Amino acid sequence: MIPPPANVDETRREAGLQSNQPARERWAHAWRTSTRYFVSDDWKWAWFLVACYCAIEVGTTYAFLLANQWQRNFFDAIEQRQGGLFLSLVFAFSMIILLQIGTSFAHNIVGWTLSIRWRKWMTEWYLGRWFARDRFYEIERLRMIDNPDQRIAEDVKEFTSMGTVYGTSPLSILIALIFSVIRAVAFGAILLETSSPISIPLFGYRIPLPGGDLIWFAIIYVLVGTTVITWIGRPFVRRRMREQHYDADFRSDLIHVRRNSEQIAFSGAQGTEQGGLRVAFENIRRNWYRLMLANAGLQVGQGFYQQVMGIIPLFLTVPKYFAGAISFGQVQAARDAFSQFSGTLSYIVTAYPSIARQIANFNRLKALDDAIDQERPRGIGFTPGGTPDGVAISATGLVLRRPNGEPLMEVSDWTIRDGERWVIEGPSGTGKTTLLRAIAGLWPDGAGQVAMTKRGSAMLVPQRLYLPLGTLKNAICFPDRAEDHDDATIAALLERVRLDAHADAMHELRMWQDELSPGEQQRVALARILLQRPSLLIVDEATSALDADNAAHFYQAVIAAMPDATIVSVVHNEKLAAYHTHRLRLHHGHATISMIAEDAA
């Protein structure tokens, strides 16, 4: 079966060239992503911390109510010139302040503890799935999404952040929303004290409404405000999403330049590279101006909304004060309660930037989840450990294709028996590396079946070796841990591969990938092979950076140490072909097989 072409639609979607995924699917994903941690193995901590968080919110609401009550008493005391009450009011005020500081402190401690536990769990969850079934490799191979690293690091961080005032996490938004409603009820009760009854005229009758004028004005005000501001804020959400996208691109371009600094410096290509970075930054700049505009619109809307909210209750209560129906303290308390009431009801307006960021995060995390989960069916079947006795690799009906479905080559049936040493040859771009990937189970595009001895006893050595961060000993022992091998063995290996000059620095933490020359890195690969002694060795131009003598030494050392090992290597040097027993030559999309001895004859 030919796998469907790879999904690379996300960038188009983020650039607005393709419509978004269905809302239902996105809501379902948002729900699953937000609730997963709370049914995980850390659920006891999760719920305990959420309970504490909510309890602190109750304390915060109580402190708000006390402050409102205090205002009323304070202004009444001033109006009635009750100097004797002043000291006790100051004392009450300090207690309220202490309570407010205490709840805010506790809010931070609990919020941050929950953030880090949630983030740790979610990071582990994403890393586990990203590494599983080689998905991280497949996502890169097909370039399915941009910057998965940023999504796992940054987006997860924002997603789990239970920040101070309005956290960015959807949970903190939800809790704040619930408490907004609770506070709205509490402050609504205060408003009722100073509200006048209200009724609406209908067909000549006056229908009385429950509550009072202040409450109805606040509700209408919030409804109109929220609708207008949500509408004004739509471009802001879009711009925020693009901002994250462009920032990540710029950063990865910078990393790319850093990694290739030597070639760029040597070729004097700084100008060209800077030009490229300027183009990447230009996207950020252009988007920034649009974001600024969108933000300005949002801020004007929010500012207008906040300011008018402070004035409306005065218009409604001051006439009652002049009429002697309420006290001056009640005017102040009503003003405070009105802004708290409508402020809490209009949570969506105030928290719109956080909600916008969260929508962008959900979209980015959904794309990552889709890329991890939407596994294309394998075209080339792969069975590790599925070869009969005496056979290291067997391929039947093997056809390789590019990810977009274009045919690359046909190998048909190919059997590599234990102890055979195969060289793969062919012009550049014919698919030699792809063939090695296919027999190692890393290339699923095409058709046919590949069986290989157990993966654990095989080793793949690419042209550019991966050296993990850490010591030189770490690099040689990879994928084992450095502690698994003693220093004397590693020192002897370094001598064997002609790297004894570095033996003393075996335990030094350095950027070995940058420090060692390509040829030295290929000798580290040889040391790794001699340490692991795999029964099947797949080598992709692993001697390309070595001089003729060292390249020959590479094969001589391997064959001397592991005379029975099966070797499949891609080499361009005919002299190195002599260390092999069989040849597979790729030409015009087809493979021909021969014995080396036959060729020589």
Q: For residue 318, what are its two tokens? A: 């001051």
Q: Is 204 helix (H, G, I), strand (E, B) or coil?
A: coil
- Which of these, 481, 447, 430, 442, lies nearest to 584 by C-alpha position? 430
Report d(CA 426, CA 416) in Å as an integer.
19
Q: Which is nearer to ligand ATP, 426 or 446 (CB)?
A: 426
Least distance between ligand ATP and beta carbon 586 (Å) = 7
Least distance between ligand ATP and beta carbon 580 (Å) = 17
Least distance between ligand ATP and beta carbon 250 (Å) = 24
Least distance between ligand ATP and beta carbon 7 (Å) = 14
Q: Which is nearer to ligand ATP, 135 or 357 (CB)?
A: 135
Helix axes 328-345, 213-232, angle to 10 degrees: 40
Quick one: residue 160, left, alpha or beta (phi over 0 = left, psi -120 to 50 = alpha)?
alpha
Least distance between ligand ATP and beta carbon 339 (Å) = 59
Least distance between ligand ATP and beta carbon 451 (Å) = 21
Q: Which is nearer to ligand ATP, 386 or 405 (CB)?
A: 405
Q: Which is nearer to ligand ATP, 415 or 433 (CB)?
A: 433
Least distance between ligand ATP and beta carbon 383 (Å) = 22
Q: CA–CA distance from 266 to each of 63, 261, 269, 278, 561 (Å)? A: 66, 8, 8, 21, 39
Q: Is 559 helix (H, G, I), strand (E, B) or coil?
A: helix
Least distance between ligand ATP and beta carbon 431 (Å) = 4
Q: Which is nearer to ligand ATP, 408 or 542 (CB)?
A: 408
Which residues contact ligand ATP by CB under 6 A? 141, 402-403, 408, 426, 428-434
Q: Is 115 helix (H, G, I), strand (E, B) or coil?
A: helix
- Contact between 137 and 442 (Cβ < 8 Å): yes
Q: Is the dihedral of CA 149, 150, 153, 157 positive or negative?
A: negative
Q: CA–CA distance from 51 to each of 55, 115, 121, 498 (Å)? A: 6, 14, 19, 63
Q: Which is nearer to ligand ATP, 229 or 570 (CB)?
A: 570
Q: Which is nearer to ligand ATP, 408 or 536 (CB)?
A: 408
The DSSP H or E segment spanning 207 is: strand 205-212
- Contact between 214 and 338 (Cβ < 8 Å): yes
Instruction: Identify the bridge partners of residue 568 per DSSP, sorted by sequence position.
Output: 422, 538
Report d(CA 584, CA 88) in Å as an integer.
96
Q: Which is nearer to ligand ATP, 339 or 430 (CB)?
A: 430
Q: Which is nearer to ligand ATP, 114 or 436 (CB)?
A: 436
Least distance between ligand ATP and beta carbon 365 (Å) = 25
Q: For residue 67, what are its two tokens? A: 């402050």
At residue 168, what is the residue type? T
Q: Is 172 helix (H, G, I), strand (E, B) or coil?
A: helix
